[in-house]
Amino acid sequence: MFKISLLPSGFSFYADPQTSVLDAALSAGAAFPHRCMVGACASCLCKKRSGEIEYQLEPLLTEKEKEQGWIFACQAFARSDLVLELEESHVD
């Protein structure tokens, strides 16, 4: 089990390696934005501040977005403890 902390709220929850970050967040009662659950709508896009994730299917992120730490929580699986930041928009 990996501990996942959300900024700026400070809400924390745990995820096992077989459960997506978004599914674990919703099961724990986190107010995590989402809609489609398959990586198409980008509602669950958040910024990884620390930790490691893995995808079964690599989502469509630009190289710049990846470098900036953006992840799709619905497609991401924790591989370590994580600190994630929820923001209004990922547009610079």
Tell me the CB-side half-sphere exposure of residue 81, using CA atoms within 13 A.
Answer: 4
Domain presence at residue 61: yes
Question: Domain limits at 40?
Answer: 2-85
Domain presence at residue 91: no
Let me know: does 60 contact 43? Beta carbons within 8 Å. Answer: no
Q: Which residue type occupies 38? A: V
CATH of the domain at 6: 3.10.20.30
Three-class secondary structure of residue 55 per DSSP: strand
**pLDDT value of residue 89:** 42
Overall pTM surpassing 0.85 (yes/no):
yes
Domain presence at residue 92: no
Domain presence at residue 42: yes
How far apart, in Å, are the Cα atoms of 3 and each of 22, 32, 91, 92? Answer: 13, 16, 28, 29
Domain presence at residue 56: yes
- What are 37-64's pLDDT values in tens digits? 888 899 999 999 999 999 988 888 999 9
**pLDDT value of residue 90:** 42
**pLDDT value of residue 77:** 98
For residue 88, pLDDT over 60 is answered with no
- What are 64-83's pLDDT values in tens digits? 999 999 999 999 999 999 99
